[in-house]
Structure formats: C-alpha cells, structure tokens
Structure 1
C-alpha cells in the first residue's frame, strides 16, 4: 500500500478507532520513522540544529524524536478532528494575546496571518472559522489529485475556504478578500513553494520563505499578524472536555503594518523579515512542534553553498 492510499483510508476510517489506540498507533509510527532515520528525519535534524544552536548531536537526535511524535500527532488529529464536537474543539484551543487580533479586526478589511508548520494548524483553522471569521487559505497541490481533493474537502468541512497553490488568479483572489471584512487570510509561509520567495535571516541562518503574506498585507493595506501554534498537555477538567490529552496554544503576535513612505518592494522585504524574526523566536522556544522535514535554509537548498552540510551516501544515490 502506498502512502497516498494510506492517507485516504485514514481520512475515511480513523475516527472509528478508539482515541487511545489511535494515538498509540501514531506514536508508534513516529518512532519507527525516527528509528529508520528517513531522508525527511535527516532533514528535520538539520533544521532543528539551526533553531537549537546550543544542542549537541545527541540532544538533536532526541529532539527529532519528539518532533516526529508531534508531527504524527498532528496527522492523527487531522484524520479525526472533523468528528469532534464544538465543545471538544473549544476545549482543545487556548489563545494568547487575543487583543492583537482584535485590534486588527477593528480595522477595515481582512487581516493576513502568517504561520509556520507548527502544532495543529488545521485545528486552529477550524476553531477560528467557527468562532472568529471563516479562514481563507492556500494549500499545496498534492499528487495524486485524489489525495489533494481529499485534503481540500477535509479542510472545507472544517469551515475553511481553500485555494490551490499554483492555480491562476490565486493572488488576485486573496487580494480581493483583503478588501472585505469576511475572512482571516491564513498563510503557511515558512516554505517557498514558488521559487520566487524572499531570502531572510532565520535565527542567524539564511532561509527562503514565501513572500505572499507581506505582499498581500502591503498591497491590501491590512495588518500582518504572525501566529505561532504549539502543543500543550491537558489535565483535569479541560482534558475531559477536550476528549484528548493534547491541546494547542495559539499566540497572536504584535500586528505588523506596511510603511506608507516605503516602496512596495521594500515593504514586502521588511515585513517578511519581521514576521520571520517573530516566529523564529517562537520556534526556538518549542522546536519540537516545528514540523519541517523539507529544505528551507539556503545552505541546504544550494548544495554548492559554502555552509552546505555534506551529503550522505543515501542522498548521492537518490
């Protein structure tokens, strides 16, 4: 069975499995993947080294195990979250600095939220769509098409509107949305999927990220809010209400605004660096909740970069 077929089966049947058993299965899957030390885990450890500069190799290895468990926890929840109750949904979400979002919502237009691949962004989107404003976002077009359709349908079931990255008119549609008061425009932006992103300082290392959040905030003249999402262990009454031992913490950081006296290009560059700096700090505090198994740092994207790590024999054979 290939991975796409496994995803489809999980979406359709995982909710039937008792929660404790399902969480144990996902933790086991994480540990096996970590022990095999797949190419994704290897890249995860490279990334974790950049955001945990004081950690030694043994600590990085331990951190990558925790990160894989967090990552598989996210998938396990994604396969079942559409079947939880509103009370369970709300009990699983804790918000920090809601006043930052309130300030942005008081202004005309739909604010732009910049996120990274932290915690459970689908649960956060589900919660926000139900309690604040419907989320409008962009998703990577996965292959095969059936898998992308399943993910898209899943997120639409949670109350979100999904545009496909790479389709014609996506940026124009997002820009039109900034001029209404109908949405939260949420963009996962710590990977450059278009090869037209911006190079930034990411915790002291050069990295490429998407320019979409800053471009939309600048051209739409709306606030840009960095948002971090991390897991937390639940206990007592809240755990019983949540129907899960895990919840998420959604932190709305200080809104960023384009400088009316700067050029569009400079605003995009400056706003991008500002949200990256904010969220890099948040990632450094909880690196195990950053689910980044792909290349984002320039030294990895360019194998001839002077700071590029040596390729492993396995990578030479790919």
Structure 2
C-alpha cells in the first residue's frame, strides 16, 4: 500500500470538513457557480464518469444517440455536484425555507398508514436530495425517521456523516459495528409506527432478489420488502428530483404484497413491483440519478 493510499481517506475527511465549514458562508449564487464549474471541468476529463455513462445508457436504451447520452451525462454530473453543494449548505438552512422550496406530492400514501398506526418503509433510489427530504419530514412535519449508514473509512468520516444526518433530524443506525444490529433498530422503529428510509436501487452484496430494472436483469436488496412484511409496515416508493430552486418529493402508492405464501415469494413480488416503479422513475428523470457504481453485473 502506497503512502497516498494511506493518506487518501484522511484527505477526503479533511475535504468534507472544509466543505461543511466554508460552503454555508458562500452566497448561494457564488456556491452554485463554483460547483457548476467543477462539474463542467471534471466531466470532460478522459475516462471520467465511465460507469455513470454505462448506467445512463442502460436507462435511456441503445436506440438513443451518442449526442443525447453525452448531454445527459453532463446534466447528471451537474445534478450530482449540486447534491454535494446542498449537502454542505443544508445544516445552515432554516428548515422552514427548505420546506418552502420543497414540492410534496402523494403525501397521503404516507399519512394514511401512519394514522392507522403502521410504520412506513420508504424505498428510494440514489436520486435528487434525500437529505433535504429528511429535513422536511423530521424538522417540519415532525415524523421520527430512522435510516442506515454504511461504515466509511476513516472512522472520523463516518462519524462526520452520521452527525450531519442526525443534525438534520434523522436517527442513524450504523450498518455494521453498532451497539445492536441495524435490522433490530429498523424493526423497532417500524413496529412503533415510525418511518424507515432505505436506498434500494443497488445490491451491494449481490445476494438480493433478481429483477428486471430498466430492461436488464440485476438484483435489488430484499430488505425493504422483508422489513415491511415482518413488521406490517407499508412499503412506499419515493421519487426524488430537483426543481430549479428546490426539490420535488413524489410518494407513490403502497406496494401491495401477497398476504399468504412463502416469505421469499412474497418478498420477490414486492421487490419486482419496486423495480418496475424505479424503472419508470429513472426513465422519467435520468439526469437526477447519481449512480456512479455498477448496478447491472454485465454493464
């Protein structure tokens, strides 16, 4: 291992610390121009965002022209850098301002299960800005929400992100290494009639449910459907996109799963329905999907 490999996690941690310290003090137009300029430079580097290009090609299909794909990649990178700019700005924003800049659709799909005493599993893709959505849920509407955080290296970077999301109002359970298993934390929250939010468009371990996503076979994690079935919670897909000066949060109808049958078969029905919903979402606004990692095993 080279010295750079040893130092890189610390450098990343220092960069994020500097971002949270400096970016909130910049006037919003100045910060926007700076991050847009960074996007314009990095997207033109040879070989940059290669996996993003492959992912977006799968979303829009082989019939789309190279010109359309290239324009989409540029828009997606701009959307991605906007997400990071807002990540640094959110802790300094008034939650009421965040709510005023947020358009919420389909809220009845969340409100009704909660009023009935059921928990809600919110399943989403790596799109838009899920942190701004959490601000509205936790700090303005006042709904307790639990999420899971993957361990990052170094530990200080993990703690920094955990503190960031807790500061926005979320309860954050470490995926590994916590005082109790993250699944136990999620189940307790759901059985208490609360919300749990899970990213569900990438199967890190490739051990999930085989589905068709955007016309190609892959796997998606079984957790969202399994938790809903085990706790009686509603499984609600959330579509997150950007507006020119804010965010759009579209909650879709609850995914209805069979009441009887083998558990894995019932989970499969739920994840297949989720994949179909995600396919519609990604094809509708592919520019706001920030997926820089491999999703399909052969793409």
Q: TM-score, normalised by structure 1?
A: 0.86
1:33 aligned to which of 28, 39, 42 = 42
Other structure's SS at 1:80 match: helix
What is the CA–CA distance in structure 1 between the aligned matches of 2:206 and 2:60, rounded to whole Å? 26
8 Å CA contact 2:95, 2:135 repeated in 1: no
1:175 aligns with 2:190: no
8 Å CA contact 2:260, 2:266 repeated in 1: no
What is the CA–CA distance in structure 1 between the aligned matches of 2:222 and 2:176, rounded to whole Å? 14
2:168 aligned to which of 158, 162, 171 = 158
8 Å CA contact 2:202, 2:220 repeated in 1: yes
- Structure 1 residue 115: deviation in Å? 0.5
1:43 aligns with 2:51: yes
Moved more, 284-293 or 184-193: 184-193
8 Å CA contact 1:118, 1:291 repeated in 2: yes
Deviations 1:109-162 (A, max 9, x none): 321010101101100011111214122101221111111111110000000011
Runs of 4+ off more than 6 Å: none
Pairs aligned (count): 286
What is the CA–CA distance in structure 2 between the aligned matches of 1:59 and 1:115, rounded to whole Å? 26
8 Å CA contact 2:211, 2:217 repeated in 1: yes
What is the CA–CA distance in structure 1 between the aligned matches of 2:47 and 2:175, rounded to whole Å? 27
RMSD of the alignment, in Å? Answer: 1.5
What is the CA–CA distance in structure 2 between the aligned matches of 1:283 and 1:137, rounded to whole Å? 22
Other structure's SS at 1:191 match: coil
Other structure's SS at 2:23 match: helix
1:184 aligned to which of 185, 188, 195 = 195
What is the CA–CA distance in structure 2 between the aligned matches of 1:291 and 1:190, rounded to whole Å? 11
What is the CA–CA distance in structure 1 between the aligned matches of 2:29 and 2:220, rounded to whole Å? 37
8 Å CA contact 1:221, 1:258 repeated in 2: no
8 Å CA contact 1:121, 1:229 repeated in 2: yes
8 Å CA contact 1:97, 1:252 repeated in 2: yes
Other structure's SS at 1:298 match: coil
Segments of structure 2 that go 5 or more residues without pairing to the other structure are 1-7
Q: TM-score, normalised by structure 2?
A: 0.91
| 2:210 aligned partner | 199
| 2:85 aligned partner | 76
Other structure's SS at 1:117 match: coil
Deviations 1:27-84 (A, max 9, x none): 1111111011445x11001010111114212211110110000010010001011111
Segments of structure 1 that go 5 or more residues without pairing to the other structure are 234-245, 301-318
| 2:275 aligned partner | 276
8 Å CA contact 1:217, 1:257 repeated in 2: no
| 1:111 aligned partner | 120
What is the CA–CA distance in structure 2 between the aligned matches of 1:221 and 1:209, rounded to whole Å? 21
What is the CA–CA distance in structure 1 between the aligned matches of 2:234 and 2:46, rounded to whole Å? 41
Moved more, 194-203 or 133-142: 194-203
TM-aligned CA distance change 1:8 to 1:99, over 3 Å:
same
What is the CA–CA distance in structure 2 between the aligned matches of 1:195 and 1:49, rounded to whole Å? 21
| 1:265 aligned partner | 264
8 Å CA contact 1:283, 1:290 repeated in 2: yes
- Structure 1 residue 107: deviation in Å? 2.5
Other structure's SS at 1:79 match: helix
